[in-house]
Amino acid sequence: MMKIIAVNAGSSSLKFQLLEMPQETVLTSGIVERIGIENSVIKIKMNGEKFEEKTPVKDHSVAVKLLLHKLVDLNIVSSIEDINGVGHRVVHGGEKFANSVEITEDVIQAIEEVSDLAPLHNPANLTGIRAFQEALPHIKGVAVFDTAFHQTMKEEEYLYGVPYDWYTKYSVRKYGFHGTSHRFVAERAAQLLNKPLEDTKIIVLHLGNGASICAVDGGKSVDTSMGFTPLAGILMGTRSGDIDPAIVEFIAKKENLDVSEVVNILNKQSGYLGISNNSSDSRDLWTAAHKGDKQSLLAVKKQVKMISDYVAAYFVTMGGCDAICFTAGVGENAIFTRQLIAKRLRPLGVHIDEERNFVRGVEKLISTDDSPIKLFLLPTNEEVMIARDTLRLSK
């Protein structure tokens, strides 16, 4: 048995989950918030109880030492030597990483080299990596990349119709994200279908505040909706998804803005929030829609339309589909959104069972027994995937 900690380091936060492997038992989870900011706090969940303490946390190095001290102090582990591996979520691996890897100085340098592709995330991920190396120098670290799963896409899928020099000089191409989630859900769906993963055609709908769709053929990503950045694809909580790029220049001139200001609006003031003028949360939109708010309903319908278009395209790309899987916050909980998506996809052979579908956050078949394409509600677990890869590479 091994104890492995799965880590997701943000610019001012450190999320973690400690798992007993290979049983995949969660021993504890939590977060250190407001790192380097006033009113820092550590929150830990264990055995159904919650521990919370406000304490100054100057940087990620202090956050990691605080976390490890609390794991011992709360008797979650007898000593830090009980921890056998650390798995780090890294948002962007560019074209350098098609799989999870053991962290070395060369790997760290490679992550730094592609950090301009994810300037808000990769530097923070690296800060977490270095902090754990300092605190646990004897423990092997593993980097698990959001983009790695999509490195199996073919050129015609990942290239854009722009000057080829943009790709060769600046690495402009589709990368895709949420790869760890898409991989977890596709593997679980194959188990539920009782088929070898290599014999399945699965479409995963990772629908959260950030959302992406992935066509998984034989266990490999063949296309995905997010692109060079997470802004592409379907409409999301505050992101626009796909638009005509000429809109950026048009609005910049009309509103007297520069390009970065327009892109910021597309990332933070669009999507659900932009269309509804109400909220970026689907729960708020459905509440308002049931009260007659047409803009809120329109925001949901626009997203449903975009999702359905992608699913139909991926059905053609793979030459069929065994299952469509709903996961993440919206996918797991938005009952009526799932209904609308299934209704639009009926011509493909999608038949939802409305009674089965009336559920939130549990693993369940929600299509009818005679539906040619199965519909699954499958809660994702990226931490388990990180722990699995860390276990595999730590042996």
Q: Which residues are annotated as a binding site?
A: 8, 15, 89, 206-210, 281-283, 329-333, 382
Q: Which residues are annotated as a binding site for ATP?
A: 15, 206-210, 281-283, 329-333
Q: Tell me which fold the domain 2-145 belongs to.
A: Nucleotidyltransferase; domain 5 (3.30.420)
Alpha helices in the chain (DSSP H): 60-73, 105-113, 122-135, 155-158, 164-170, 179-193, 246-255, 259-268, 271-276, 282-290, 294-318, 328-333, 335-344, 354-357, 382-394
Per-residue model confidence (pLDDT) at position 395: 73
| Closest to 62 (Cα-Cα) out of 12, 116, 6 | 12
Q: Which residues are annotated as a binding site for Mg(2+)?
A: 8, 382
As to burial, measured by CB atoms within 10 angstroms (0-12 exposed, 13-18 middle, 19+ buried), residue 141 is: buried
Per-residue model confidence (pLDDT) at position 49: 87
Q: Which residues contact 306 (CB under 8 A, 6 or more apart)?
A: 233, 234, 235, 241, 242
Per-residue model confidence (pLDDT) at position 256: 97
Do the domains 2-145 and 193-382 sit in the same CATH topology, yes or no? Answer: yes
Q: Going by DSSP bridges, is the β-strand pair 374-377/364-365 parallel, antiparallel, or unpaired?
A: antiparallel
Give strand pairing partners of 352. Answer: 367
Q: Domain spanning 193-382 has what CATH number?
A: 3.30.420.40
| Closest to 195 (Cα-Cα) out of 219, 215, 179 | 219
Q: Is the dihedral of CA 45, 46, 50, 53 positive or negative?
A: negative
Per-residue model confidence (pLDDT) at position 234: 97
Residues lower than pLDDT 70 in the chain: none
Per-residue model confidence (pLDDT) at position 394: 84
As to burial, measured by CB atoms within 10 angstroms (0-12 exposed, 13-18 middle, 19+ buried), residue 95 is: middle
Active site residues: 146
**Cα–Cα distance between 115 and 295 in angstroms, integer?**
38
Q: Where is 373: in which H helix or E strand?
A: none
Q: Which residues are annotated as a binding site for substrate?
A: 89
Q: Where are the domains of the chain?
A: 2-145, 193-382
